[in-house]
Amino acid sequence: STFVAGLEKLKKGEIEPYGVPLAGELPIDFKDIRIVGSYDVDRAKIGKKLSEVVSQYWGDVNSLSDDPVVSTGVHLGSVKNLPIEAEGLEDSMTLKEAVERLVDEWSKLDPDVIVNTCTTEAFKPFGNKKELLKAIENNDKERLTATQVYAYAAALYAKKRGGAAFVNVIPTYIANDPAFVELAKENNLVVFGDDGATGATPFTADVLSHLAQRNRYVKDVAQFNIGGNMDFLALTDEGKNKSKEFTKSSIVKDILGYDAPHYIKPTGYLEPLGDKKFIAIHIEYISFNGATDELMINGRINDSPALGGLLVDLVRLGKIALDRKEYGTVYPVNA
């Protein structure tokens, strides 16, 4: 909803493109982005016009230039224990039939780019394509997550259409799972992912890069986030929290070249914080002549706008990669 609201205001010239990193640097204008479809698994939203849903969060957006009806998606238990009455295609059909339904609907809507923003899931990577296809064929609703089903459907859609892009901004491995990368390359699918990483983690990455460039030795890193939105509520589930922790923690060794002791986790849920999460970072490092320095950073970050601004770029980059036939993962974007 934040992405849709902000995009509408950008198209009308009502706001500046702050928070859109490549605002004026891509050959695709904001006005060229059209929203042709929308999916949800919240029974209170399915069947409504997208503008009705968006206006629940953004009262200053009552009409949209593109206003599709919200269709039924797939949840596979991803919203369990959340205050949502869930409704998914898999409730009334097999996963194979649900995939066929999605591919058929997308073929009519004809999107270039499909964006996955569903809630954080507890997941297990497939590693090889054979296992993935077996799970779909066997209707294994325990093994598969909603994101994995969407990515599989996107690959079949891309094959049928002659190319498409799939943008995954949650921690479930798609761009990092060889099974999906192989599937994407075979079916003319561009894959961006995984995890939007819009708050404390990219900030920590920037600071670690700064220290690495100056040859300072990082002794330890502590980072945590507390938020009050639906995604933080979902992260109170240990399996989902673990998924997020994995994508966050991998940055330390990638940047420094060694695995400094670290605690980097989405730590908790506090409802009054709402969408404006609290972040805290502490980094201890050794400088010249054995001196030990410390950095302590606190912040409040609006969670959804941080991701919404990136999506404006990612959908445009997805179209560019598609036009260039850069199927599979695109490292400069994914990194």
Instruction: Report whether pLDDT(245) > 80.
Output: no
CB within 8 A of 41, min separation 6: which ones? 72, 73, 74, 75, 78, 79, 84, 86, 87, 88, 118, 146
Per domain, the residue ranges of the chain are: 1-196+305-333, 200-302
CA angle 200, 206, 208 (to 5 degrees): 100
Residue with tokens 């089903």: 149
Instruction: Report whether pLDDT(284) > 80.
Output: yes
Strand partners, 40: 72
What percent of the chain stands above pLDDT 90? 79
**Whether CATH 3.30.365.10 fits 1-196+305-333:** no
Residue 271 identity (one-letter amino acid):
E
Backbone angles phi, psi at 154, to 5 degrees: -65, -40
Query: Where residue 105 falls among pLDDT bands split at 50, 70, 90?
Result: very high
What superfamily would CATH give domain 200-302?
A: Dihydrodipicolinate Reductase; domain 2 (3.30.360.10)
56 DSSP assignment: H
Instruction: Report whether pLDDT(216) > 80.
Output: yes
Instruction: Report whether pLDDT(275) > 60.
Output: yes
What percent of the chain stands above pLDDT 70? 96
Q: Is the pTM of this model over 0.85?
A: yes
Residue 140 and residue 94 in contact, taking contact as beta carbons nearer than 8 Å: no
Instruction: Report whether pLDDT(116) > 80.
Output: yes
Residue 216 and residue 262 in contact, taking contact as beta carbons nearer than 8 Å: no
Residue 112 and residue 165 in contact, taking contact as beta carbons nearer than 8 Å: yes
The mean pLDDT value for 199-211 works out to 91
Residue 67 and residue 50 in contact, taking contact as beta carbons nearer than 8 Å: yes
Residue 122's pLDDT is 84
* C-alpha separations of 161 from 106, 126, 232 in Å: 10, 25, 36
Query: Where residue 30 falls among pLDDT bands split at 50, 70, 90?
Result: very high
The string of pLDDT tens digits covering residues 134-168 is 999 999 999 999 999 999 999 999 999 999 999 99
